[in-house]
C-alpha cells in the first residue's frame, strides 16, 4: 500500500478568497500535481530503496491513498470558499448600512473580539495553573485534558474541579493497588513466596486429605 506524504499549507487555503472558479482551478491543479509519484512529490510513493515504508518527518501528514488525500484537499478548499462567501456577504451588508449602523456593528464586533481574547487568556492561565498543581502533587500531566470543560471558568471553580478529579483519581489508583496486593498475597504457612490463593473447594479438599492421612495407623508404631 502506498503512503502519500504532504505538508499541508493550511494558511494558503484560508487566504484564498478569490472566486469559486479560482478555487476550483487551484483544486484541479493540486490534484494533477500529485501524479503517480504520490503526494508531496515522493517518486517512490513513500517507499524506500529497500522496499520498506519511509517514516515521514515530524510534522508531515501521511495519507494511505490518493483518494484520502483528495478528500482532505477538497474539504479545506470547500471551507475556504464558504468562508470567502460569508466574508463577501458580510461586506455587502456592511456597505448597505448607514453611519450609525456601521458604528454599532464595529462596536459589537470589537466587543466580541475582546471577549474572545479574554476567554483565551483565562483558559491559558488556568491551564498553567492546573499543570503546576499536577506537578506539585506528582500526578500525570496528561490529566490536563480532563479539565478542558472548566478552563474557561474562574480559578476558584477550576480548583473545585481539580480537587474532585484528583480525589477520584487517587481512589481509583488505591483500588487498583489493593486488588494487585490481594492477588499477590503470600499463602498462609508458606515459605514467604507469593502464590495463588486457594479456592474454597481446594481448601476443603486439602483439609479432608490431611484428616485421612492422620487416621492411618503407623504399622511400626509400638504403642
Angle of helix 20-34 relative to helix 66-95, nearest 10 degrees, comes to: 160
Mean pLDDT of 147-155: 90
Kindly list the distances between the CA atom of residue 12 and the CA atoms of 8, 23, 73, in Å, as whole numbers in the listed order.
Answer: 9, 11, 12
Q: Rg of the chain's alpha carbons, rounded to an integer?
A: 34
Show me where the domains of the chain are located. Answer: 4-96, 120-183
Name the more confident of 25 and 94.
Answer: 94
pLDDT tens for each residue of 200-209: 556 656 666 6
Rounded Cα distance between 46 and 2, Å, is 6
Rounded Cα distance between 83 and 79, Å, is 6
pLDDT for 23 equals 46
pLDDT for 21 equals 47
- In this predicted structure, the answer to whether residue 45 has a pLDDT above a threshold of 60 is no
pLDDT for 33 equals 44
CA atoms within 13 A on the CB side of 51: 0
Grid coordinates standing for 15?
Answer: 487566504
Amino acid at each position: 500500500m502506498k503512503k502519500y506524504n504532504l505538508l499541508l499549507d493550511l494558511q494558503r487555503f484560508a487566504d484564498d478568497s478569490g472566486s469559486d472558479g479560482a478555487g476550483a482551478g487551484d483544486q484541479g491543479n493540486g490534484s494533477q500535481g500529485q501524479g503517480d509519484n504520490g503526494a508531496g512529490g515522493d517518486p517512490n510513493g513513500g517507499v524506500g530503496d529497500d522496499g520498506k515504508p519511509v517514516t515521514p518527518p515530524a510534522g508531515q501528514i501521511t495519507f494511505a491513498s490518493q483518494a484520502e488525500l483528495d478528500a482532505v484537499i477538497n474539504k479545506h478548499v470547500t471551507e475556504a470558499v464558504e468562508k470567502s462567501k460569508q466574508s463577501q456577504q458580510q461586506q455587502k451588508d456592511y456597505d448597505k448600512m448607514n453611519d450609525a449602523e456601521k458604528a454599532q456593528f464595529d462596536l459589537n464586533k470589537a466587543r466580541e473580539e475582546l471577549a474572545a481574547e479574554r476567554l483565551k487568556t483565562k483558559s491559558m492561565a488556568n491551564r498553567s495553573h492546573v499543570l503546576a498543581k499536577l506537578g506539585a502533587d506528582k500526578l500525570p500531566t496528561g490529566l490536563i485534558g480532563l479539565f478542558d470543560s472548566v478552563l474557561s471558568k474562574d480559578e476558584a471553580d477550576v480548583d473545585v474541579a481539580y480537587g474532585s478529579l484528583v480525589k477520584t483519581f487517587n481512589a481509583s489508583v488505591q483500588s487498583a493497588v489493593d486488588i494487585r496486593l490481594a492477588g499477590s498475597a503470600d499463602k498462609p504457612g508458606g515459605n514467604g513466596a507469593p502464590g495463588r490463593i486457594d479456592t474454597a473447594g481446594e481448601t476443603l479438599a486439602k483439609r479432608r486429605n490431611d484428616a485421612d492421612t492422620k487416621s492411618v495407623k503407623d504399622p511400626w508404631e509400638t504403642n
